[in-house]
Amino acid sequence: MRPVRVLLVEDNESDIYLIRRALSEADFPHVLTVLSDGAEARAFLEREGVTTEDPLPEIVLLDMNLPRVNGSALVELFRDRPALQNIPVVLLSSSQAPQDLARADELRRGIYFVKPSDLESFMDIGRRVKEFWTDSLNCSASSQGA
């Protein structure tokens, strides 16, 4: 499996460390780009100041509670911009509020994970992201063959 381009938008250094570790332990080959606030992520995704050598990510891990531009506003980008609509998005939050869970439903290719409070469960995020990525690939292949 070739490395997957993953964009992690997260402002918490501990969560960044744990997600890096979880992806590595899941045996998920990837190249990780980390952005720490929503404004940076929006600019990157809208290709502001980005060269053609910096391709769009193939999957995005998005914290919902970000400085400057929150995750909900970024969800709108994935929903509204044709160039972003096929990118699978994993929404991450410590919230289990129904309105937060509903944000994932707005995305055609999105899923919502509540950030676990214990280390073992946090490590499971890597496996779940890998499964989601694999499922997303299978869905894309099915829809292209139809």
| pLDDT tens digits, one per residue of 63-98 | 988 889 888 888 888 888 898 988 999 989 887 777
pLDDT at 59: 94
pLDDT of residue 79: 84
Mean pLDDT per segment of 10 residues, for the chain of length 146 residues?
Answer: 91 94 93 94 85 81 89 86 90 78 70 85 90 78 51
pLDDT number for residue 146: 44
**Residue type, position 81, single letter:** R
In sequence order, the 6+-apart residues with CB closer than 8 A to the CB of 85 are 78, 79, 108, 109
The predicted structure's pLDDT at residue 141 = 54
In 64-139 the beta strands, taken as DSSP E runs, fall at 89-93, 110-114
For residues 63 and 37, what is the distance between their CA atoms, to the nearest angstrom?
Answer: 9
Residue range 4-145 in CATH 3.30.930.10: no
- Rg (alpha carbons) of the chain, rounded to whole number: 14
**Maximum Cα–Cα distance for the chain, whole Å?**
43
